[in-house]
């Protein structure tokens, strides 16, 4: 296995990291290109491809998709941006394996439908290619273990592209936690609250898109990683602490039927169809060190987008939805909130200091650019990816674990230890430099 870099004590983190970060051009001067294959070039895959093509020193010589329109669009985009038309791979669903046989590829970015994420990543690692996998990276505990076992056997890293781990505000909060402003961490709340029924699971005309089958056939937290992305590093999960148990409950399913009834009438087949997926799933994780995490899935009822992060320690807390915090002994008024913005500026993470101007031009407020830059840096240096396989599968394991707990009436279920006990001695690596 690849060795993890030495991690500095918390109080020395900010100074050392600031000194270590160079300007983007300086990082890449005189180095050979990193060659990346794009597997899956639908909407999300094309977006990631567009970002990749703006990163200095990156070439995309091959693209793969079974949809000819998507494939041709990706080729045209790459040719427009780079002047080179990538080789297409789209004969059938397994043609990505032919792409992986190319000796000139260093890495692949995988943005296919969910059920393909683990098989494609496993094949990529076996072929010696770094793998960057869209969320979620796995759908079952068996798939989680496949990713871990393959990573350990081959020595080739893989990373789930959980972009909310790279958000500017979340990395500033991480800096504050590592500076011990909030004291000892005790509790987090997080959520993925995003009404997606009429555009992501089904189109505007009620035609089923590929993710819809998961709502028909399963009842679980289908999409936990945007919730948990920053939380793992905030609480030192897998590097000082680990998930111990999870207990999940789900409401009945009402929102999908209600939406289709409003849109097409109460007797429409979609308005009366049975959907297994409950509207709200609430999971409570307890860690081995006695911390708790509340995770909410909320993707089927009318509402604005929200993540509702809250992290609380022995000296204070931060709330994302109101962009406020309170720190005992520091906040000017006793037990009154103060705005987060001045703290974000003061505790800006070195990654954002280095890449803010370029990242801000890209999707998801720059997080896509930053996560791909850091992935490419790891590929170029042949080091561990910024989010390693253990954090990737821990986040995504909530899909399967929440389903198990719901099926058992909300009873707690044991969380696997994907680090095989190494969480006790592993040191934090995410966003340390």
Domain harbouring 202, CATH code: 3.30.360.10
Query: pLDDT higher for 23 or 140?
Result: 140
Single residue among 164, 198, 233 that ends a domain in this structure: 164
Single residue among 164, 190, 216 that ends a domain in this structure: 164
For residue 359, the model assigns a pLDDT of 87
**Position 169 pLDDT exceeds 70:** yes
For residue 433, the model assigns a pLDDT of 64
- If asked whether residues 269 and 341 sit together in one domain, one would say yes
Tell whether 374 is covered by a domain.
no
For residue range 116-131, list pLDDT tens digits in order: 999 999 999 999 999 9
Q: Is the pTM of this model over 0.85?
A: yes
315-340: average pLDDT: 97
**Position 44 pLDDT exceeds 70:** yes
For residue 27, the model assigns a pLDDT of 43
Q: How confident is the model at residue 25 (pLDDT cuts 50, 70, 90)?
A: very low
What is the total count of domains within the chain?
2
Tell whether 301 is covered by a domain.
yes
2-23: average pLDDT: 33
For residue 31, the model assigns a pLDDT of 81
Tell whether 369 is covered by a domain.
no
For residue 340, the model assigns a pLDDT of 98
For residue 363, the model assigns a pLDDT of 85
**Position 371 pLDDT exceeds 90:** yes
Secondary structure (H, E, C), the chain: CCCCCCCCCHHHHHHHHHHHCCCHHHHHCCCCCEEEEEECCCHHHHHHHHHHCCCCCEEEEEEECCCHHHHHHHHHHHHHHHCCCCEEECCCCCCHHHHHCCCCCCEEEECCCHHHHHHHHHHHHHCCCEEEECCCCCCCHHHHHHHHHHHHHHCCCEEECCHHHHCHHHHHHHHHHHCCCCCCEEEEEEEEECCCHHHHHECCCCCECCCHHHHHHCCCCCCCHHHHHHHHHHCCECCCECEEEEEEEECCCCHHHHHHHHHHCCCCHHHHCCCCCCCEEEEEEEECCCCEEEEEEECCCCCCCECCCEEEECCEEEECCCCEEEECCCCCCCCCCEECHHHHHHCCCHHHHHHHHHHCCCCHHHHHHHHHHHHHHHHHHCCCCCCCHHHHHHHHHHHHHHHHHHHCCCCCEECCCCCCCHHHCCCCCCCCC
- If asked whether residues 160 and 173 sit together in one domain, one would say no
Range of the domain at 232: 169-349+390-424
137-157: average pLDDT: 98
- If asked whether residues 38 and 130 sit together in one domain, one would say yes
Tell whether 97 is covered by a domain.
yes
Tell whether 368 is covered by a domain.
no
Domain harbouring 39, CATH code: 3.40.50.720
């Amino acid at each position: 296995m690849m060795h993890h870099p030495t991690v500095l004590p918390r109080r020395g983190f900010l100074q050392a990291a600031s000194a270590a970060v160079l300007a983007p051009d300086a990082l890449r001067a005189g180095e050979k290109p990193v060659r990346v294959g794009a597997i899956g070039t639908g909407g999300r895959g094309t977006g990631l491809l567009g970002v990749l093509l703006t990163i200095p020193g990156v070439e995309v010589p091959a693209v793969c998709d079974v949809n000819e329109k998507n494939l041709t669009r990706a080729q045209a985009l790459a040719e427009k941006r780079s002047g080179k038309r990538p080789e297409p791979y789209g004969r059938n669903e397994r043609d990505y394996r032919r792409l992986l046989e190319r000796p000139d590829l260093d890495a692949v970015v995988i943005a296919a439908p969910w059920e393909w994420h683990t098989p494609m990543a496993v094949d990529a690692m076996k072929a010696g290619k770094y793998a960057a996998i869209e969320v979620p990276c796995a759908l079952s505990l068996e798939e989680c273990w496949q990713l871990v076992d393959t990573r350990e056997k081959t020595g080739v890293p893989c990373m789930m592209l959980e972009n909310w781990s790279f958000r500017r505000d979340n990395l500033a909060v991480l800096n504050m936690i590592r500076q011990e402003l909030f004291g000892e961490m005790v509790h987090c709340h997080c959520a993925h609250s995003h009404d997606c029924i009429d555009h992501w699971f089904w189109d505007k005309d009620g035609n089923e898109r590929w993710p819809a089958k998961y709502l028909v056939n399963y009842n679980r937290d289908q999409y936990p990683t945007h919730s948990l992305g920053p939380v793992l590093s905030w609480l030192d999960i897998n590097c000082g602490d680990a998930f111990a148990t999870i207990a999940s409950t789900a409401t009945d399913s009402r929102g999908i039927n209600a939406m289709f009834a409003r849109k097409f009438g109460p007797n429409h087949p979609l308005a009366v169809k049975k959907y297994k997926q409950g509207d709200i799933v609430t999971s409570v994780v307890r860690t081995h060190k006695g911390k708790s995490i509340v995770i909410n899935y909320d993707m089927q009822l009318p509402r604005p987008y929200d993540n509702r992060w809250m992290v609380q320690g022995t000296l204070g807390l931060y709330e994302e939805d109101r962009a406020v915090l309170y720190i005992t002994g520091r906040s000017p008024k006793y037990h009154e909130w103060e705005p987060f913005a001045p703290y974000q500026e003061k505790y800006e993470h070195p990654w954002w200091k280095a890449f803010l101007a370029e990242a801000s031009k890209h999707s998801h407020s720059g997080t896509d650019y930053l996560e791909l830059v850091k992935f490419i840096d790891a590929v170029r240096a042949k080091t561990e990816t910024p989010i390693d396989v253990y954090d990737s599968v821990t986040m995504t394991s909530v899909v399967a674990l929440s389903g198990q707990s719901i099926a058992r009436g909300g009873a707690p279920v044991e969380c696997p230890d994907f680090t095989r006990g190494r969480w006790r001695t592993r040191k934090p690596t995410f966003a340390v430099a």
